[in-house]
Amino acid sequence: MDVVTQNRCFDGVQMVCTHPSEVCGTDMTFAVYLPPQSETGPVPVLWYLSGLTCTHENAMTKGGFQEHAAAHGLAVVFPDTSPRGEGVADDEAYDLGQGAGFYVNATRAPWAAHYRMYDYVLTELRDLVLGRFPLADRHGITGHSMGGHGALTLALRNQDRFDSVSAFAPIANPTQSDWGRKQLSAYLGDDEAAWACYDSSILLEEYGWKDAILIDQGAGDQFLDLLRPEALAGVLARRRQAGLVRMQPGYDHSYYFVASFAGEHVAWHADRLHRPRN
């Protein structure tokens, strides 16, 4: 692993790092924020997964997470959204290929050779950061849009690995949305039964969640019909699952929306990550 940049930030350290990934078959870049509390001992980790077209950098520079993470003693890891580089398959459309990995393990050519973001986040990058930084093995996960979809699916399928989950304007029902059906068919093939394990509304219906879930959604979001928050809210109600789906008046899909509620999400995760495990 190489440290590309390192900057002091709210008495902690913001780093950008690269490393060769066996899972993705190419060099990968990620960012990690270490709060000042990490200088005296391991701190819990909040994973932030970004949305379509983003890299590790967007939320790192626009989300405003560092100040809140420093106040609550959490590290924040910002992975990239896809593999990149020469020889990595891509598409002319913004919503497929590089920048649009959808946090799945692709099984269909030409994507299967590199597009394994589910395993990358869940296992390879997790093991790397735990081995290289002063981090406790306590993990929360959140994300925005495509990243909210990734956060929810990773947490719901791996409840032994995550202690808390939230999302900002997640793609909540991708098997029934044009933000999902296109990508899932490209990466996984036309058998829709294989898509279900990457749909948080389906997963929540099947597995539930061990604690409460926090979802913030801008009521003025220009992509609301593609995100389908009503599907996830309906499952919460049917299962009587503890959780909040908050429609925030006037907010759109931008990082202004994410930054406005980042502090509440960090506090939500900190409350759970600092609790003793049962």
18-24: average pLDDT: 98
Neighbours of 5 (CB within 10 A): 9
Q: What is the pLDDT of residue 277?
A: 80
Instruction: Tell me the pLDDT tens digit for each residue of 125-135.
Output: 999 999 999 99
Q: Which residues pair with 43 in a beta bridge?
A: 135
177-200: average pLDDT: 97
Tokens read off for 124: 């390879």
Q: Which residues pair with 248 in a beta bridge?
A: 218
Q: How far apart are CA 17 and CA 114, in angstroms?
A: 19
* Active-site residue list: 145, 221, 253
**In terms of Cα–Cα distance, which of 86, 77, 120 is closest to 101?**
120
| pLDDT over 90, % of the chain | 99
Q: How far apart are CA 171 and CA 199, in angstroms?
A: 9
137-152: average pLDDT: 98
Looking at residue 122, what DSSP letter applies? I
Write out the residue range of the structural domain in which residue 94 sits. 2-274
pLDDT above 80 (res 278): no
Q: What is the pLDDT of residue 5?
A: 98
Number of domains in the chain: 1
Token pair 């919460």 is at which residue?
236
Mention every residue, 6+ apart, whose C-beta is less than 8 A from residue 229.
169, 170, 172, 215, 217, 245, 247
- For the chain, what is the mean pLDDT? 97
Q: How far apart are CA 263 and CA 71, in angstroms?
A: 10
Cα dihedral 224, 229, 231, 237 in deg (nearest 10):
-150
Instruction: Tell me the pLDDT tens digit for each residue of 75-111.
Output: 999 999 999 999 999 999 999 999 999 999 999 999 9
Q: How far apart are CA 223 and CA 91, in angstroms?
A: 21
Per-residue pLDDT band for 265 (boundaries 50, 70, 90) equals: very high
Tokens read off for 260: 């406005």
Instruction: Tell me the pLDDT tens digit for each residue of 220-252.
Output: 999 999 999 999 999 999 999 999 999 999 999
Dihedrals phi, psi of 43, to nearest 5 degrees: -120, 155
CATH number at residue 154: 3.40.50.1820
Q: How far apart are CA 91 and CA 261, in angstroms?
A: 33
